[in-house]
Amino acid sequence: MNSTQNPQPPASPQPAPKWNDQRIELIIGHLLRSGVLLSAAVVIFGGIVYLVRHGHSIADYRIFHGDISPLRTLPGIFHSTLEFSGRGIIQFGLLLLIATPIARVIFSAVAFAIERDYLYVAFTLAVLAVLACSLAGAALH
């Protein structure tokens, strides 16, 4: 990478971990992209099933009925997906989408642990704990 030797001292004292960071970020970037494309494929599939069956129904979302929807819990989504309901499959795809950045955080925790950067392992686990608290509401119903 460094073709010319600079007479000035390098600005950063540790060039090696920097390079590692870049590699990890690249892997994470691909992970995010794959997660998004996979979930988009599931959403498209569910969307086709939904539109074929319900395309001629009337769409009305003026009044909120979400509080009684079975698709607001993880068991409800899995159940509906297994029943091959279009709305269920879409919601399952959206769940994969929500899981994508969470997978990224888990991967970062591993990456920081490999680098033996325990302060950042702790920060990453803190973020993960907050995310787990948020999803617990949908999981435990």
User: According to CB under 8 A, which residues from 33 to 72 bind other proteins?
Assistant: 33, 35-36, 39-40, 43-44, 46-47, 50-51, 54-59, 61-69, 71-72
Kindly tell me which of 78 and 123 has the beta carbon lying closer to other proteins. Answer: 123
Binding of other proteins by 16 (CB under 8 A): no
Q: Cα–Cα distance between 100 and 72 in angstroms, integer?
A: 19
Beta carbons of 27 and 62 less than 8 angstroms apart: no
Tally of CB atoms within 10 A around 116: 9
User: Based on the number of CB atoms within 10 Å of its own CB, is 89 exposed (0-12), middle (13-18) or buried (19 or more)?
Assistant: buried
Per-residue binding letters, 121-140, with other proteins (x by CB under 8 A): --xx-xx--xx-xxxxxx--
Three-state DSSP at 96 gives helix
Q: 């971990």: which residue's tokens?
A: 17
Q: Supply the minimum distance, in Å, between the C-beta of residue 79 and other proteins.
A: 14
Q: Considering only residues 65 through 124, tell me which ones interact with other proteins, judged by CB under 8 A.
A: 65-69, 71-73, 86-88, 90-91, 94-95, 97-102, 104-105, 108, 112, 117, 119-120, 123-124
